[in-house]
Amino acid sequence: MARIAVLKKSSCKSRDCGKPCMTFCPGVRMGEETVKFEEGSKYPIISEELCSGCGICVKKCPFRAIAIVNTPETVEEEASHRYGVNQFTLFRLPIPRPGKVLGIIGRNGAGKSTALRILAGEIKPNLGNVQNPPDWNEIIQFYRGSELQAYFEKLSKGALKISYKPQYITNIPKVYTGIVGDLISKVDERGVAEKLMKELYLESIWGNQLSTLSGGELQRVAIAATIAKEAEVYLFDEPSSYLDIFQRIIAAKIIRSLAEIGKTVICVEHDLAALDFISDYTCVIFGEPGVYGIVSHPYGVKEGINIFLDGYLPDENIRFREESISFSKAPAMPKLDLKTTGSLLEYSGFEIKLDGFKLKASSGGVKKSEIIGILGANGIGKTTFIKVLAGLLKPDTAFTGVGSLKISYKPQYLEGDYTGTVREFLLSAAGASILDSSVKSSIIHPLELEDLMDKSISILSGGELQRVAIAGCLLRDADIYLIDEPSAFLDVEQRFAAAKTIRRIVESKSKAAFIIEHDLIMCDLVSDRLIIFEGEPGRHGLASSPQDMRSGMNSFLKMMNITLRRDVKTGRPRINKLGSKLDSAQKSIGEYYYAPVKK
């Protein structure tokens, strides 16, 4: 069995901690150099050959900087790449196939982007040999007998043309300058620039500078630029980030069209509905984030997503998560008996104008222990609506709102300019209550914040910052929580953990929440009722009163022209293929949100 020792250098503070990783190591005390500091290095090196796996250094490290894990025997000789001594290791690689879309699902930090970068030719796989990396002949020999052998043969000769959309699209203006239309026209080797401009709704920004674009606009430009290139292989790393539900479905259709003309397509995605809609088959990447990742064998898209939700690989007899993720299999069953709960807030309708945009909201209310989901396109007034509820914006018309009720608001865009640590930030939100065992078990542990407590807010990644912001919002003393896009930057498991945490807090404290969400599955999982936004993005929006789930979802899905069904095994929502028998049958009876149960 292979043993992996990983040191998280961003957490290690060996100069200040007294070096307990050396002091308490049995191997060091016996004269072995299990843990040592090389001359000129401020970080320890842990010998994986001499390490017994006792785990004492892991427990003694005050900064949780060390991880010692045993990898499954089935992958012991299948390392594809290692970043360095005591650094992350990826085992196996996804197998691309012409004319198919391979969907990749897994946790943040498990190696999804690493796998794409290897297949894109940005990283040359070292097969785990950091000291003496192999040449291309050795790499090709290692993958003999699989589709990857031919893939790397062509890649090594420069005979494989690849178009790659990276994960971090906010870096695009730093690399490319100029106007949107000029960029896409410059890379348009397939003669599809004008078509993509219309399909991805880029007309209004075609003449804009890249540096002025929002996240969603940059994402659509990046997708267009990637598709416009003539290539054999197209790689997309999280194409749905920053996009609203409408834009995700449009992007998925366009990406799928590449496979229909024989291209090889690989897509990393955290939105399960979008992943299901876009993919022909899937690979699950599991392991310990930041330590190691293992690429599963390929599965059919339905089977692969269900295996991920179950947390168990039956063909390898590996359980990679203790608990399975499940959904209610009964269609549109209310999570809360609204007849037995008291009203917490009643608000009046209002109108507000901002920079040429006009929002008109209908009156409504929320009950104790209730969560109201908010669905709609980007730029249609959802954030404006909850800012009015929060008292951050004043409507142009008379408004009866929250009154003396206490509000806790998590904004859409998070800034990492807070100078303190995560611990200090959470203490400022909740006081000493974060030390309570109940808070640790209900918020800190589910959101996986233990390892972040001593980190500065300013250095957190997008996903880490999101989880800290959700925790800060829920820790404040409030009657109503207003949460804007909690799933942004989170992986699938973190999204479900966040949804369960929000629901647990709201129900246990008899509070209420309004949640803006673009992930259909998370919205379905967490919401009791829905507010639907219609209108024209950037010009005018209309917010409905809160509706029951079936009415709200039917209205929203009809606008999107898609239908949902529940997976028979897991109960998860699945988007029907457009034009399929079930899609047509549900549309014919006006049931876009699951077909009614036959009695």
Instruction: Report yes or no on 370 lying in a domain.
Output: yes
Instruction: Report yes or no on 54 lying in a domain.
Output: yes
Q: Which of 99-108, 227-236, 277-286, 565-574 has the weakest average pLDDT?
A: 565-574
Domain CATH code at residue 12: 3.30.70.20
End position of a domain, from candidates 295, 311, 327: 311
61: pLDDT strictly greater than 90: no
The arithmetic mean of pLDDT across residues 369-391, rounded, is 94
Instruction: Report yes or no on 477 lying in a domain.
Output: yes
The answer to whether residues 41 and 160 belong to one domain is no
User: pLDDT exceeding 90 applies to what percent of the chain?
Assistant: 66
The answer to whether residues 367 and 463 belong to one domain is yes
End position of a domain, from candidates 525, 548, 571: 548
The arithmetic mean of pLDDT across residues 282-309, rounded, is 94
The answer to whether residues 362 and 261 belong to one domain is no
Q: Which of 4-13, 332-341, 523-532 has the weakest average pLDDT?
A: 332-341
* Run of H or E residues at 353: strand 350-354
The pLDDT confidence band at residue 257, using thresholds 50, 70 and 90, is very high
The answer to whether residues 62 and 80 belong to one domain is no
Angle, nearest 10°, between helix axes 492-508 and 462-475? Answer: 0
Instruction: Report yes or no on 328 lying in a domain.
Output: no
| 477-505 pLDDT per residue, tens | 999 999 999 998 999 999 999 999 999 99
443: pLDDT strictly greater than 70: yes
Instruction: Report yes or no on 582 lying in a domain.
Output: no
Does residue 96 contact residue 87 with C-beta atoms inside 8 Å? Answer: no
Read off the pTM.
0.90
Instruction: Report yes or no on 228 lying in a domain.
Output: yes
The answer to whether residues 306 and 371 belong to one domain is no
Instruction: Report yes or no on 333 lying in a domain.
Output: no
Instruction: Report yes or no on 337 lying in a domain.
Output: no
The two three-digit tokens of residue 396, written as one number: 């142009």
The answer to whether residues 287 and 355 belong to one domain is no
Domain membership of residue 38 as a residue range: 3-70
The two three-digit tokens of residue 2, written as one number: 């292979």
The answer to whether residues 399 and 412 belong to one domain is yes
The answer to whether residues 448 and 514 belong to one domain is yes
The DSSP code sequence of 561-591 is T--EEE-TTT--EEEPPTT-HHHHHHHHTT-
596: pLDDT strictly greater than 70: no
The answer to whether residues 359 and 283 belong to one domain is no
598: pLDDT strictly greater than 60: no
d(CA 232, CA 237): 17
Does residue 566 contact residue 550 with C-beta atoms inside 8 Å? Answer: no
Q: Which of 3-17, 101-115, 366-380 has the weakest average pLDDT?
A: 3-17
The arithmetic mean of pLDDT across residues 421-431, rounded, is 88
Does residue 405 contact residue 509 with C-beta atoms inside 8 Å? Answer: no
The pLDDT confidence band at residue 599, using thresholds 50, 70 and 90, is very low
Q: Fill in the amino acid letter for 438.
A: S
Q: How far is CA 586 from CA 371, 594, 595, in A?
A: 27, 8, 6
Comparing C-alpha atoms, which of 72, 69, 89 is closest to residue 5? 69
Q: Which of 138-142, 392-396, 442-446, 567-571 has the weakest average pLDDT?
A: 567-571
The arithmetic mean of pLDDT across residues 414-439, rounded, is 80
The pLDDT assigned to 95 comes to 94
d(CA 44, CA 29): 16
Cα within 13 Å of Cα(230), Cβ side: 5
Q: How many domains does the chain have?
A: 3
| 513-534 pLDDT per residue, tens | 999 999 998 998 899 999 999 9
Secondary structure, 3-state, 255-284: HHHHHHCCCEEEEECCCHHHHHHHCCEEEE
The answer to whether residues 506 and 426 belong to one domain is yes
The pLDDT confidence band at residue 1, using thresholds 50, 70 and 90, is low
Does residue 98 contact residue 262 with C-beta atoms inside 8 Å? Answer: yes
The answer to whether residues 442 and 525 belong to one domain is yes
End position of a domain, from candidates 54, 70, 86: 70
The answer to whether residues 363 and 505 belong to one domain is yes
The pLDDT assigned to 333 comes to 53
The DSSP code sequence of 495-531 is HHHHHHHHHHHHHHTT-EEEEE---HHHHHHH-SEEE
The arithmetic mean of pLDDT across residues 180-202, rounded, is 95
The pLDDT assigned to 101 comes to 97
Does residue 238 contact residue 249 with C-beta atoms inside 8 Å? Answer: no
Domain CATH code at residue 509: 3.40.50.300
The two three-digit tokens of residue 296, written as one number: 């599963």
| 30-54 pLDDT per residue, tens | 888 899 887 777 888 999 888 988 8
d(CA 115, CA 551): 42
Task: Give burial (CB, 10 Å; 0-12/13-18/19+) of 544.
Answer: buried
The pLDDT confidence band at residue 335, using thresholds 50, 70 and 90, is low
Q: Which residues contact 190 (CB under 8 A, 6 or more apart)?
A: 227, 228, 229, 230
132: pLDDT strictly greater than 70: yes
Q: In whole numbers, what is the pLDDT of the chain averaged over residues?
A: 90
